[in-house]
Each structure stands twice: as C-alpha cells, then as structure tokens.
Structure 1
Amino acid sequence: MKNWESMEAFIEVVRQGSFSAAAIKLDVSASHISRLISQLEADLGTTLLFRTTRRIRLSEAGELYYQHCRDLPEALSSAEEMISTLNQAPIGAFKMTCATTFGERYIAPLMNDFLLDHPKIDLDFHLTNRAVDLIEEGFDLAIRMGSMKDSSHLSRRLCDRVEYLCASRHYIDQYGMPHTLTELTKHRCLIGSKNHWLFQQNGQRKEVKVSSQWRSNSGPALLDAVRKGLGIAQLPDYYVNEDIANGKLIALLPQYQYPYSGVWLVYPKARQPSPKLQAICDYLIQRFQKNSTFA
C-alpha cells in the first residue's frame, strides 16, 4: 500500500496526542513523523491535523480518515499472526478427493481418526472416480491410482496396488480360459472408467485397449457383473482378493500380470507444503505402512 507508513504514523499521532510521543512509539524521529504526515496530506489533497505548539486537533477530513483507518494496523498484525499459526500447525480448511470405493473403504476411516487428533482442520472430502482438476477446483490433495503422468503436480507414493484380470468359474466353464492377450478379443470384456487394461509382456509395460458392450464407472457394479458371469474384467486387489482366495473368482493370464501400480498422494506444486498437507500425507503413509491389510 502506497501510504501505509504515513497512515500508520498518522494513527499513532492521534492515539498518542503528539508527534514526539508517536515517534517514540514507532522508534523513529519526530521530524520523520512530521514528513510522513505532510506527505500523506499532500497525497490526499486535504489537511488532516491542525498543529499548535501545545496540541494537535483533527480536521473534519482527519476525523473521517482516522475512523476508517484506525483498526487497520491491528487487522494486519492479526492476519500475520494467523498466517504464522497456519504455517506452524495443521489447522484450517482442507479439500481432498479420492476414488469412491478406495476412499470409502480405506481413506475415510483414516481421515476420521486423524481429525480426532486435529479438530481444528475443516475437512471437505470428495469421493469421485472422475479425475478432478486440482488447481481449477481448489483441491489440496488427490489420491490417485496407477502410474503418475502429470508432472505439473507433486506426488508421494502411498502404497502398491496390483490389478487382477479375473472371471467367475461359471464364465470360464461357458466360454473357456484365455491363454494369450490376443485371445481377449474373443471374450466378453467388462470395463470400468478406463478403456484399456494394464499388463506386462517380455518385461515391458503393455496397455491393451478393450472394447465392450458393458461399461460402468462403478467398481462395485463391475465386480458384481464379474461375479455373475457376465464377462472378464480387470480390477484392483482390494476388490477381488477375497473372491480369488475363496475361489469365487479366477485370476487369468498371471504370466502377463503387471507387478504393481501405485496409489499416489498428489498435490499442487508450492514453495513449501502447508503443515496440514504435510501432516495428512505423513499420517496416511505411516498408517498404510503399518497395516498390510489395506490394499
């Protein structure tokens, strides 16, 4: 602000009742205070103070100016204190997003536990399978699956995730077992929000584009379709581990299974992560490392 120093000097002169007392309060010379007030009056084009050898008196313009400005130094100081506190402790609004099922099953319970110890954080948690724009939509953190391709954001690995190509016993009995990737074109493929499946062939990552007459952006709906024998699908481990273990689903083409893809904590680039972002990321990573049953 152009006249901030002059305005601060003016306010202090009025409060202290003299130039010399204001100079002592602001730790400057009385002549410097006088120059600041004169410059302020010149910039505003009006007289703010009537000066005598014994006292000062506010003009009508000076009274109006003082009434509007007197609280600004304290407001600035309060704002600076709040920012300082914000930069030291995890407090304030925090907006994050995650894929629906993974968020419901794993992230929401952990965040609820986190908030018990950090009640000054106001959480806005969006569960969606849509890839949100962190900057445009004002998100502090996104939890995303798969390989990281967007270098415009920073990321930390939360955990590994394995994807299984699977089908029900009923489907295999009816349509047979695929033995190669090319044979998938002869099968009924069920797809989620992405139209490609991830594999490894000859040590290299390979994405296979899939076409289907059945598609849904809901993981539970896709899992239900696979269980009922409607076709083959590729689903993350946290959906199918139990069904594969108890024989309800059969893992297909294990020789082509990609070793793992990641689950990532993704956030916009900043000079320094805020304490709440740092605390939340550290907490989630720590909890996933301690509990192998998550994903």
Structure 2
Amino acid sequence: MKWEGISEFVYVAEYESFTQAAKELGISIAQVSRQVSALEKRLNIKLFYRTTRKISLTEEGQVFYQHCRAVLDGLDAAEQAVSTLQSKPQGRIKLTAPVTFGEQQLLPLINDFMLQYPDIEVTAFLSNQKIDLVKGGYDLAVRIGRLRDSTMMVKKLGYRTSYVCASPDYIDEFGVPQTLADLSQHNCLLGSVDYWHFKEGSADRNIRVSGRVQYNSGYGLVDAALKGLGIVQLPDYYVQKYLESGELVSFLDDYREPEEGIWAVYPQNRHPLPKVKVLLQHLQQNLPL
C-alpha cells in the first residue's frame, strides 16, 4: 500500500506531464492520475500545482520527490546488483550527448558495445542544449570541454583536439597566417561565435575573426573549407580524415589550444549501475586518451 503511486508521482514530477509519465510507464493517463490523486489523499498534502498549461511541484512535493527519487534509485541499484550476479549486465541506459560528436563518435561506439551486451538497451537523445539529468531520468550525459556544474559526478572518457586549417587551393592563393594577428587578413569561416580559442604561451586567447560565411553547422563549414572559401577552426572529428588525405592543411599548431576533455557526467546521488559502468569502460577504451 505504501508504494502505490510512488513511481507515477516521480515520473510526473520529472516529465512535468501526466501524458509523458503514462507513456514512459506503459500505462494509461487515467491510471497515472488516479494513483497520484490517491497518493495525495493518503498523504493529505497537495503534491502538484495543476493548470491547463503546466504541472509543477508544490514545496511539499519537492521535498517528497527528493526522497522518492532516492528510494527508486536504490531499488534500481539493488535490482541491477542482484541481476549481475546471475547474468551479464542488462537493462536500459538513457543518455544524452552533443549532436555531431554523438553522431560521428559516440553512437558508433555504442553500437559496437551493444553487440557485446545483447541484454542492454540504449536510449540516446542528442542535443547541444544542457539537459537536466535528474528531471529527464538520464543515467548519464557525455559533455565536452570545461565543466561548470560542480553538483555532478564526473569521469573522463577521452579528449578532442581542434585544428585551424584550409585547403591547398586557398593557401596557394592567400598564403598561410604565421601569427594570430595575421588571421585578421584572412577570410575565416565562422561557427556560432565570432572568435576562436588559442593558447599563447601560458595564456588563453580568444581571437575575434571575421569572414563571408557564418554557419551553425560543422559539416557546412568543412565543405566551405574544402572548396577553398576560407580558413576554419573545428574539432578533429570534423577534419581528421581530410588532414590525413591532404585535402586540408593544418597551421598555427604552436597556438593550438590543449585537448578538451570528453566527460561522463551523472548525478551525485546515483552511483553508476553495472550496465553503465561497462559502457563507461568501453568508451574509455575506445575514445582517444
């Protein structure tokens, strides 16, 4: 009796939606609503503010949610711990990662991983937006670069390197910049910001650049560079194969920013379950370190 409605309450709290909670739990919306209402009646408190547009937790609901989430996490961990004594790691892993890195690097590695562990299911949501892991019910996020959220547990998986490069045709016509100041004389292919990151001695430098092209697409910028439209700064997974083939040439290497970390991030109150641990081990073994 005490457990009735707890899962339904937690899912509604995390998705802020009775409809989505019902979908995730595989039950009807009416059943979710009945269970939450019965839970509120049993506790004699109001857990949610409900309007036609939004559902949000009351102050009492927030307190109750934190305790319920911890209990469900403990049950998941206990269930997984027992299952791993009897079989290979199993269950669903829900993760999020940046879009291009996820498409080019992460998902192929996860596909290899799933061939090794047929009892594991993976749901991956690729987004360049920072996602609330707890509310979304994620097991982990893969993030790149400097981390600012000190409330999360972190494990380093690998690194990425950015290159400044251009096509041989562009170099033949306009030459190679020898210093950071020389970039002002060149057509630079811009991404979502109008500056590039460098390291000059021990100092971090953000150099403002300009040019005829500004895309929020790494693929579009690579294509522009290959066609001789200008100079580009992009991570290795965009340009590595073109550098190796000679279709792009790297320069200003002495000013290259140190490698950026690739991190697995997960909430402090959730120790990685065995299924997540084996995935993290797989990524650490196959991403460049």
Give the TM-score of the pair, scaled to structure 1.
0.63
Aligned twin of 1:27: none
Are the aligned partners of 1:129 and 1:217 in contact in 2 as well (CA < 8 Å)?
Answer: no
Aligned twin of 2:166: 167
Higher mean Cα deviation, 222-231 or 169-178? 169-178
For 1:185 and 1:150, how far apart are their aligned partners in 2?
35
For 1:145 and 1:237, how far apart are their aligned partners in 2?
13
Aligned to 1:215, the other structure's residue is in SS state coil
Taking a change above 3 Å as real, the CA distance of residues 257 and 82 of structure 1, as seen in their structure-2 partners, is: closer
Aligned twin of 2:22: none
Taking a change above 3 Å as real, the CA distance of residues 271 and 159 of structure 1, as seen in their structure-2 partners, is: closer
Are the aligned partners of 1:156 and 1:266 in contact in 2 as well (CA < 8 Å)?
Answer: yes
Aligned twin of 2:68: none
Aligned twin of 2:237: 238
Taking a change above 3 Å as real, the CA distance of residues 182 and 136 of structure 1, as seen in their structure-2 partners, is: farther
Q: State how 1:142-221 maps to structure 2 within 5 Å.
A: 142-221=141-220
Aligned twin of 1:287: 286
Taking a change above 3 Å as real, the CA distance of residues 113 and 242 of structure 1, as seen in their structure-2 partners, is: closer
1:224, distance to aligned residue in structure 2 (A): 0.7
Aligned twin of 2:80: 86
For 2:258 and 2:186, how far apart are their aligned partners in 1?
24
1:194, distance to aligned residue in structure 2 (A): 4.5
Aligned twin of 1:273: 272
Aligned twin of 2:124: 125
For 1:190 and 1:134, how far apart are their aligned partners in 2?
34
Are the aligned partners of 1:95 and 1:125 in contact in 2 as well (CA < 8 Å)?
Answer: yes
For 2:132 and 2:208, how far apart are their aligned partners in 1?
25
For 1:195 and 1:275, how far apart are their aligned partners in 2?
43
Q: State how 1:2-151 maps to structure 2 within 5 Å.
A: 84-88=78-82, 89=84, 90-151=89-150
Are the aligned partners of 2:104 and 2:237 in contact in 1 as well (CA < 8 Å)?
Answer: no
Give the TM-score of the pair, scaled to structure 2.
0.64
Aligned twin of 2:56: none
Structure 1, unaligned runs of 5 or more: 3-79
1:159, distance to aligned residue in structure 2 (A): 1.4
1:82, distance to aligned residue in structure 2 (A): 6.5
1:124-165 CA-partner distances (Å, limit 9, x unpaired): 112334443434443322222223233232222111221101
Task: Count residues in correspondence.
Answer: 214
Are the aligned partners of 2:105 and 2:237 in contact in 1 as well (CA < 8 Å)?
Answer: no
1:35-80 CA-partner distances (Å, limit 9, x unpaired): xxxxxxxxxxxxxxxxxxxxxxxxxxxxxxxxxxxxxxxxxxxxx9
For 1:209 and 1:202, how far apart are their aligned partners in 2?
18
For 1:134 and 1:174, how far apart are their aligned partners in 2?
49
Are the aligned partners of 2:161 and 2:259 in contact in 1 as well (CA < 8 Å)?
Answer: yes
For 1:271 and 1:107, how far apart are their aligned partners in 2?
22
Structure 2, unaligned runs of 5 or more: 3-73
For 1:212 and 1:269, how far apart are their aligned partners in 2?
44
Taking a change above 3 Å as real, the CA distance of residues 287 and 168 of structure 1, as seen in their structure-2 partners, is: closer
Higher CA-based Rg: 1
Aligned to 2:147, the other structure's residue is in SS state coil
For 1:158 and 1:136, how far apart are their aligned partners in 2?
24
Aligned twin of 1:224: 223
1:234, distance to aligned residue in structure 2 (A): 0.8
Aligned to 1:267, the other structure's residue is in SS state strand
Taking a change above 3 Å as real, the CA distance of residues 144 and 216 of structure 1, as seen in their structure-2 partners, is: farther
For 1:195 and 1:267, how far apart are their aligned partners in 2?
32
For 2:238 and 2:96, how far apart are their aligned partners in 1?
19
**What CA RMSD, in Å, does the superposition of the two structures yield over aligned residues?**
2.9
1:278, distance to aligned residue in structure 2 (A): 1.9
